[in-house]
Amino acid sequence: MIIITGAAGFIGSCTVQKLNDEGHRNLILADDFSREDKNRNLTGKQYLEQVHRDDLFQWMDRRRAEISFVFHLGARTDTTEKDTALFDRLNLNYSKEIWTRCAAYGIPLVYASSAATYGLGELGYEDRHDIVSQLHPLNPYGDSKNDFDRWVLQQSETPPFWAGLKFFNVYGPNEYHKGRMASVIFHTARQIKASGAMKLFRSHRPDVADGAQRRDFIYIKDVLAIEYFLFRQSGVPSGLYNVGTGQARTFLDLATNTFHAMQLAPNISFIDTPEDIRDTYQYFTEASMEKLRRAGYDRPFYSLEAGIEDYVVNYLLEERIF
């Protein structure tokens, strides 16, 4: 059996569908399942059982001999949340419990880290283990992810295989429930539908033009391909892995291509970045992907243009789930 935590969320529910598409039905889905807008992501998917996240550890203890793999994708992901105790409970300590069981029971583990661990990128964006203790995330969410990565690297007892995935800016279907934390592509399409226009965050740095803030945007279908590559791992080294494309693109590129996918002329203006995130706003991220390539992953990534076209035309315009 394969466990997926955060199974009703964005990446989790898409992972369930990917596993279904590859012929896997022996899935155990863990989440809190209290939000109907998230549960919609599981429509039509095939699995064995839903387990409330609070009951998962006891479930694993009882059924440990039957578990073949764990995708730990559940977390509190709100980058504006300031309650460190919440992050300690849901991100750090919960993840430690998952790790401890996978190590004790010999279960391979893939878990969600984040590019938020890199902070302003003072040390670059290489998924090296030796810099983890020196990183300075910009918010409690990033701290919680880096705290777990740091703890993992200190452990002598490990799962037989493990990979911590440093997700960069992931976009794609099944993020309808994420509100403010949904991708800019999602918000662009929504704003265009409502008003025919899009407002991007203005730059508050003199060396960066409005809309020229650059991020490494990765389409969910590339994320799923990477996850499945690691699921089928044979000789892949355990460790932290960036999950991006290796090519930063501007928010202006992103919004413009969303208009094009909707067959509309761009109508883009700028507003001030909200004060609660302005001081911790990343103006540039770009994943170093050499480590994953060395491990044997050789598929090309969706271009921003192709990813947006697929997302908008095949999912967003009809609000279809994956």
Q: Return the CATH fold of 2-170+217-245+287-302.
A: Rossmann fold (3.40.50)
**76 burial type by CB count under 10 A (0-12 exposed, 13-18 middle, 19+ buried):** middle
Quick one: average pLDDT of 263-280? 91
Residue 84 banded pLDDT, cuts 50, 70, 90: confident
Give pLDDT, residue 81: 74
Q: What is the pTM of this model?
A: 0.95
pLDDT over threshold 80, residue 296: yes
User: Hey, which residues are catalytic here?
Assistant: 141, 178
Residue 162 banded pLDDT, cuts 50, 70, 90: very high
Length of the chain: 322
Could you give phi then psi for residue 114, rounded to 5 degrees? Answer: -165, 150
Give pLDDT, residue 200: 94
Q: Per the structure block, which two tokens stand in for 181?
A: 């934390």
Any idea where the domains of the chain sit in the sequence?
Answer: 2-170+217-245+287-302, 173-214+248-284+307-316
Q: Print the SS3 string covering the chain.
A: CEEEECCCCHHHHHHHHHHHHCCCCCEEEEECCCCHHHHHHHCCCCCCEEEEHHHHHHHHHHHHHHCCEEEECCCCCCCCCCCHHHHHHHHHHHHHHHHHHHHHHCCCEEEEEEHHHHCCCCCCCCCCHHHHHHCCCCCHHHHHHHHHHHHHHCCCCCCCCEEEEEECEEECCCCHHHHHHCCHHHHHHHHHHHHCCEEEECCCCCCCCCCCCEECEEEHHHHHHHHHHHHCCCCCCCEEEEECCCCCEEHHHHHHHHHHHCCCCCCEEEECCCHHHHCCCCCECCCCCHHHHHCCCCCCCCCHHHHHHHHHHHHHCCCCCC
Residue 76 banded pLDDT, cuts 50, 70, 90: confident
Quick one: average pLDDT of 274-300? 93
Give pLDDT, residue 278: 86
Quick one: average pLDDT of 177-183? 90
Quick one: average pLDDT of 167-185? 93
* Closest by Cα among 71, 90, 119 to 226: 71
Residue 275 banded pLDDT, cuts 50, 70, 90: confident
Work out the mean pLDDT of the chain and round it to a whole number.
95
Quick one: average pLDDT of 181-186? 92
| More confident call, 104 vs 89 | 104
pLDDT over threshold 90, residue 29: yes
Task: Report the 10 Å Cβ neighbour count for 201.
Answer: 18
Residue 181 banded pLDDT, cuts 50, 70, 90: confident
pLDDT over threshold 80, residue 82: no
Residue 298 banded pLDDT, cuts 50, 70, 90: very high
Quick one: average pLDDT of 153-163? 98
Euclidean distance between CA atoms 294 and 302, whole angstroms: 19
Q: Residues of the chain with pLDDT > 90: what percent?
A: 88
The most distant pair of C-alpha atoms in the chain lies apart, rounded to whole Å, by: 58
Q: Return the CATH fold of 173-214+248-284+307-316.
A: UDP-galactose 4-epimerase; domain 1 (3.90.25)
